């Protein structure tokens, strides 16, 4: 118990001593041997420093376009560093030549299959023209038969009677209605051949085609042609003419009969008076009988035509017209089904031909790409303009006899008139970087010359290659465009860039190592009469060397560049702040766990 009391008293005495030493923010001690710096007032530049490589912003890059699993060998290649001239471009100087032997063998083997495919495609194309011609001829013949059937019906019963009958039956009655009927039927046929419609109709038993007439219930059989005669509906058609002729023949026969009857009566009177012989009288009686028979035959023929022949012929002609309508549509269906098969075979042959043609063209293009000609004046460089550790390590070095992979860069000819620097901006600085910011560039090979440029491009996402082997590293590629042309610059040179973020005028600043942080509070150690004191400050922007001081110290005052060895944080003040903070949180309704309290006390300690 006594030991506990003594321990508590010792701890209290220790805290009391610390509080007394730190009261008022002043700390006793010697600062003569510590490095110091004065608070300066003047202009200050806020910048971001990065390193990168000088690259041509515009360049002509040749890659291996040959798609071979085993790769392709380089037979010839121009020396690296060769300067391509305008004359070389005009003469189409060969820069690279690759081995095309395997591609040429593959092209020869492909020619056999290609020729067969081409012949099949030509045949399928010719079949379309032949079948189309035959189909048109068949449809034309059916259309002609249909018109003739309509004309026959109109000729027999008369135009007006035919039109009235066909209208009542809702059938085409003239050229215009025939064309409309055929168009509507053709549209239905075309829809019927739609693959989607066929799939849907296969699921249902409904038949919505109004042109599928039932042969057992012909429309012609439902027409009572006897009414045509009773109601005198016939026009000047063939039937009416026949009836008139038969009527005329009956009238003639009746007239002849009357004449014969008078002649027989006279012959009888003459025979009674013995003026003529019995033979003569008998001859007159025979002639009378013939006249009676002729009249009876004429009347019978007229009755038979009216009651039987006319309805039969009228229904027959109307039925023929109906059949001609169905035959036209049926022929169209058959021809369209046949043409569908022809077109399907043609499309299949065409797809095969296009595929083989594309394959052939691709082989020819690959063979053509095996010879690289000079297209732009400039300096020849091996590999790609964007080569780095993460990409070039997968490729074999460029040289004669080397094997290239598909897509591998071979040579690059940069445009030396516009150069820039490719840099990677760390994620801590990316918010400061904006387009068109001024940049100062210094090439490491020429350190005495400073160039001016601007930010031309900044990536939206971090570089995935840079974080492949270091997931915690997040950098954003950016392009700096160098103003003007400079002969001493070469692609690939290392360079340092200073990105000007902000230029401050007439501000107070000190070295960044003079500012310290405790509990989110910035402070400095100001030297005072051989001692130092802890002074809170308000800070602003900063660069890699200096930091802006908004308040707390004045120009000309001296601050320590390092923390004194004998400095100890004001534990009591920190504890008070922590207790006050906990009281505020408790008053606002916030709850803290025991573990959270321990963590905060440990941090404060």
464: domain CATH number is: 2.40.30.170
Quote the domain boundaries for residue 531.
23-55+415-568
Helix segments in 370-465, DSSP class H: 389-392
* Domain match, 374 and 358 both: no
What pLDDT is recorded for position 214? 45
- Whether 29 has a pLDDT exceeding 80, the answer reads no
- Whether 585 has a pLDDT exceeding 60, the answer reads no
| Any domain includes 186 | yes
* Domain match, 240 and 317 both: yes
Mean pLDDT calculated for residue range 73-100: 91
* Domain match, 396 and 535 both: no
Between CA 424 and CA 313 the distance in angstroms is: 99
- Whether 480 has a pLDDT exceeding 90, the answer reads yes
Instruction: Kindly indicate the confidence band of residue 389, based on its pLDDT and cuts at 50, 70 and 90.
Output: very low
Using one digit for the tens of pLDDT, what is the confidence trace for 303-327? 888 888 888 888 888 888 888 888 8
* Domain match, 349 and 375 both: no
In 3-state terms, what secondary structure has residue 453? strand
What pLDDT is recorded for position 523? 92
Parallel, antiparallel, or unpaired: how do β-strands 36-38 and 558-560 relate?
antiparallel
The span from the first CA to the last CA of the chain, in angstroms, equals 26
Mean pLDDT calculated for residue range 485-501: 86
| Any domain includes 535 | yes
3-state secondary structure 541-588: EECCCEEEEEECCCCCCEEECCCCCCCCCCHHHHHHHHHHHHHHHHHC
Instruction: Kindly indicate the confidence band of residue 197, based on its pLDDT and cuts at 50, 70 and 90.
Output: low
What pLDDT is recorded for position 385? 65
Report whether 380 contacts 56 (CB < 8 A): no
* Domain match, 140 and 260 both: yes
* Domain match, 320 and 377 both: no
* Domain match, 289 and 174 both: yes
Q: Output the six-digit token pair for 344.
A: 């399907």
pTM, 2 dp? 0.50
* Domain match, 272 and 302 both: yes
Percent of the chain at pLDDT > 90 equals 14
| Any domain includes 178 | yes
Pairwise pLDDT comparison (257 vs 7), residue with the higher score: 257
| Any domain includes 390 | yes
- Whether 443 has a pLDDT exceeding 70, the answer reads yes
What pLDDT is recorded for position 515? 92
* Domain match, 357 and 374 both: no
Pairwise pLDDT comparison (475 vs 3), residue with the higher score: 475
Instruction: Kindly indicate the confidence band of residue 394, based on its pLDDT and cuts at 50, 70 and 90.
Output: low
Percent of the chain at pLDDT > 70 equals 80
- Whether 269 has a pLDDT exceeding 70, the answer reads yes
Number of domains in the chain: 3
* Domain match, 51 and 68 both: no
| Any domain includes 593 | no
Between CA 419 and CA 479 the distance in angstroms is: 10
What pLDDT is recorded for position 30? 52
Which of these three, 333, 362, 391, is where a domain ends?
Answer: 362
- Whether 516 has a pLDDT exceeding 90, the answer reads yes
Pairwise pLDDT comparison (5 vs 554), residue with the higher score: 554
| Any domain includes 263 | yes
- Whether 388 has a pLDDT exceeding 80, the answer reads no
Report whether 524 contacts 515 (CB < 8 A): yes
- Whether 219 has a pLDDT exceeding 80, the answer reads no
Q: Output the six-digit token pair for 98.
A: 């690759």
* Domain match, 51 and 66 both: no
| Any domain includes 227 | no
Give 454-463's long-range contacts (Cβ < 8 A, gap of 24+): 454/480, 454/481, 454/483, 455/479, 455/480, 455/481, 455/499, 456/57, 456/420, 456/480, 456/481, 458/425, 458/430, 458/433, 458/434, 462/427, 463/424
Mean pLDDT calculated for residue range 92-99: 92
Beta strands per DSSP E along 397-520? 403-404, 409-414, 419-426, 438-443, 446-458, 475-482, 494-511, 516-518
How much is the mean pLDDT over the chain?
79
Cβ within 8 Å of residue 41, ≥6 positions away = 506, 507, 508, 509, 555
Mean pLDDT calculated for residue range 11-36: 48
- Whether 24 has a pLDDT exceeding 80, the answer reads no
Question: What burial letters (b/e) apply to 287-302, b meaning 16+ CB within 10 Å?
Answer: bbeebbebbeebbebb
CA angle, 559 as apex, 553 and 562 as ends, to 5°? Answer: 140
Which of these three, 362, 379, 396, is where a domain ends?
Answer: 362
Using one digit for the tens of pLDDT, what is the confidence trace for 8-20? 333 333 333 333 3
Instruction: Kindly indicate the confidence band of residue 454, based on its pLDDT and cuts at 50, 70 and 90.
Output: very high
| Any domain includes 12 | no
- Whether 169 has a pLDDT exceeding 80, the answer reads yes
Using one digit for the tens of pLDDT, what is the confidence trace for 226-251? 677 665 667 777 888 888 888 888 89
* Domain match, 475 and 493 both: yes
């Amino acid at each position: 118990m006594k030991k506990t009391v003594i321990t508590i008293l010792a701890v209290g005495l220790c805290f009391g001593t610390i509080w007394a030493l730190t009261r008022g923010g002043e700390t006793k001690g010697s600062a003569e041997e510590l490095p110091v710096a004065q608070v300066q007032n003047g202009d200050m530049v806020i910048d971001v420093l990065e390193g990168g490589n000088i690259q041509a912003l515009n360049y002509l890059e040749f890659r291996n376009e040959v798609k071979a699993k085993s790769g392709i060998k380089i037979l010839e290649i121009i020396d690296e560093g060769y300067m391509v001239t305008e004359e070389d471009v005009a003469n189409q100087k060969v820069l690279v030549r690759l081995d095309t032997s395997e591609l040429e063998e593959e092209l020869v083997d492909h020619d056999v299959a290609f020729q067969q495919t081409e012949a099949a495609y030509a045949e399928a194309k010719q079949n379309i023209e032949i079948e189309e011609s035959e189909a048109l001829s068949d449809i034309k013949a059916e259309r002609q038969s249909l018109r003739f059937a309509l004309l026959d019906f109109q000729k027999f019963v008369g135009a007006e009677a035919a039109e009235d009958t066909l209208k009542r039956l809702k059938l085409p009655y003239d050229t215009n209605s025939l064309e409309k009927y055929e168009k509507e039927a053709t549209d239905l046929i075309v829809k019927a051949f739609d693959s989607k419609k066929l799939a849907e109709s296969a699921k249902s038993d409904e038949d919505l085609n109004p042109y599928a007439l039932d042969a057992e219930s012909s429309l012609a059989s439902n027409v009572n042609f006897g009414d045509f005669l009773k109601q005198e509906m016939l026009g000047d058609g063939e039937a009416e003419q026949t009836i008139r002729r038969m009527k005329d023949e009956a009238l003639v026969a009746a007239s002849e009969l009357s004449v014969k009857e008078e002649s027989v009566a006279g012959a009888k009177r003459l025979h009674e008076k013995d003026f003529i012989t019995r033979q003569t009288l008998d001859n007159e009686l025979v002639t009378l009988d013939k006249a009676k028979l002729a009249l009876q035959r004429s009347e019978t023929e007229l009755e038979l035509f009216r009651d039987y022949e006319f309805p039969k012929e009228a229904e027959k002609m109307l039925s023929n017209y109906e059949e001609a309508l169905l035959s036209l549509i049926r022929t169209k269906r058959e021809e369209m089904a046949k043409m569908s098969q022809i077109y399907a075979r043609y499309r299949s042959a065409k797809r095969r031909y296009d595929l083989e043609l594309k394959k052939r063209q691709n082989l020819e293009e690959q063979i053509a790409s095996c010879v690289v000609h000079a297209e732009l004046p400039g300096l020849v460089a091996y590999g790609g303009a964007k080569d780095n550790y993460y990409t070039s390590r997968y490729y074999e070095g460029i040289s004669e006899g080397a094997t290239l992979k598909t897509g591998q860069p071979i040579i690059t000819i940069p445009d030396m008139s516009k150069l820039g620097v490719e840099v990677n901006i760390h994620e801590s600085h990316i918010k400061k970087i904006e387009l068109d910011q001024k940049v100062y560039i210094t090439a490491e090979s020429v350190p005495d010359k400073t160039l001016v440029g601007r930010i031309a491009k900044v990536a939206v996402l971090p570089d995935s290659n840079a974080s492949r082997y270091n997931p915690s590293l997040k950098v954003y590629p950016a392009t700096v465009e160098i103003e003007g042309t400079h002969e001493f610059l070469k692609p690939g040179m290392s360079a340092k860039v200073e990105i000007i973020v902000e230029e401050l005028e007439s501000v107070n600043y000190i070295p960044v190592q003079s500012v310290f942080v405790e509990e989110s509070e910035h402070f400095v150690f100001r030297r005072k009469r051989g001692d130092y004191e802890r002074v809170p400050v308000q800070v602003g922007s900063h660069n890699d060397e200096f930091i802006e001081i908004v308040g707390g110290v004045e120009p000309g005052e001296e601050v320590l560049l390092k923390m004194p060895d004998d400095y100890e944080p004001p534990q009591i003040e920190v504890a008070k702040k922590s207790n006050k903070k906990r009281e505020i949180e408790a008053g606002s309704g916030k709850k803290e766990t025991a573990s959270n309290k321990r963590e905060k006390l440990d941090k404060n300690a």
